[in-house]
């Protein structure tokens, strides 16, 4: 299982969630 892909996906999701939470 590619962990790098998972990490990138998690990072993107976290960033999106933070942005949404900021609003």
Instruction: Give the tens place of pLDDT for each residue, 1-23.
Output: 556 778 888 898 898 888 887 65
Structure tokens at 22: 């900021």
DSSP-derived 3-state class of residue 1 = coil
Q: What is the pLDDT of residue 1?
A: 53
Q: Which residue has the tokens 């999106």?
A: 16
Q: How far is CA 3 from CA 6, 7, 8, 9, 23, in A?
A: 5, 6, 9, 10, 30
What are φ and ψ of residue 8, in 5° steps? -60, -45
**Among candidates 2, 21, 23, 1, which has minimal Cα distance to 13?**
21
User: What's the pTM?
Assistant: 0.36
Q: What is the pLDDT of residue 8?
A: 84
């Amino acid at each position: 299982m590619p962990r790098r892909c998972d990490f990138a996906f998690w990072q993107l999701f976290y960033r999106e969630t933070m942005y949404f939470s900021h609003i």
